[in-house]
Amino acid sequence: MADLIMSEPLIPEPLLQQAASLLRSGRRLAVLTGAGISAESGIPTFRGAAGLWKSFRPGELATPGAFEANPGLVWEWYDWRRSLIKEAKPNAGHESLVKLEQHVPTLTVITQNVDGLHRQAGSASVLEVHGSIWRVQCTKCRGEWEDCRVPIPCPPRCECGGIVRPGVVWFGEALPMDVWHSAEAAVSSCDVMLVVGTSAIVYPAAGLVPLAREMSARVIEVNTKQTAMSHSVDVALTGPAAEILPLLVEQCIHC
């Protein structure tokens, strides 16, 4: 009889129990997500091994100056990302947040991602603090609308003749104030915060984690690696979000 090879659990049981009971104690949850939650949907992260920034330098593409200097090049990058995102589907990580939302009084998803996968998965309350890759804005008449064409002309033009830009927040740009204030309010009033798949390098979004701590919320981190925040959270679960979040949510709901 072949020996039954018991694989090591992804997360040691006591740690999973600790995280699940913390999560279960939450009445007002805030979930901060970054590119890592979309990794298992096939969307490259920014700073990982195959990250977006590996092939490009941030200053070359995700800044107003880069767009002004070469709108066509910046749009080619976004057109390529849109072509990936168009084929991507929400993964078990996104879906488990939708399931969790049905079992807690309030759950707000605050995402740095521009891919729209939380909304696509069915999350009811999503704050896209860095905008959406599917929205565009005219640099001349300031009109804003959704344009899901793939491929899209690089750069697209508005009816007014103006050059159209992606509706995302670039480095050096302010976050949309209404969305940002809602994110700060959700974190300031939460009793548990889940931080999933972010390197916690980009501010002001990364500042939401210390804000939660200041407001005495308990913080659980899910990441494949240690991050700048790992030392300051209550529980750090190491592994892929699409595997850990379903385990965590099942444990939280059914135990």
By CB under 6 A, name the binding residues for ligand BV8: 34-36, 39-40, 45-48, 51, 62, 112-114, 130, 168-174, 197-199, 201-204, 222-225, 227, 240-241
138 binds, among Zn ion, ligand BV8, none (CB under 5 to 8 A by kind): Zn ion
CA–CA gap between residue 209 and residue 165 (Å, rounded): 30
Closest distance between ligand BV8 and the C-beta of residue 228, in Å? Answer: 9
Among 9-17, 120-128, 143-151, 244-252, the segment contacting Zn ion (CB under 5 A)? 143-151
Minimum CB distance to ligand BV8 smaller for 11 or for 114: 114
- Rule CB under 5 A: which of 156-175 touch Zn ion? 158, 160, 162
Q: Give the closest residue to 247 by CA, choosing from 1, 47, 9.
A: 9
CA–CA gap between residue 91 and residue 245 (Å, rounded): 10
Closest distance between ligand BV8 and the C-beta of residue 77, in Å? Answer: 8
Tell me if residue 130 is catalytic: yes
Give the count of residues interacting with Zn ion (CB under 5 A): 7
Among 16-24, 38-46, 139-147, 219-227, the segment contacting Zn ion (CB under 5 A)? 139-147
Among 54, 140, 157, 181, binds Zn ion (CB under 5 A): 140
130 binds, among ligand BV8, Zn ion, none (CB under 5 to 8 A by kind): ligand BV8
Minimum CB distance to ligand BV8 smaller for 10 or for 160: 10
Which residues are marked as active site? 130
The residue ranges that bind Zn ion (CB under 5 A) are 138, 140-141, 143, 158, 160, 162
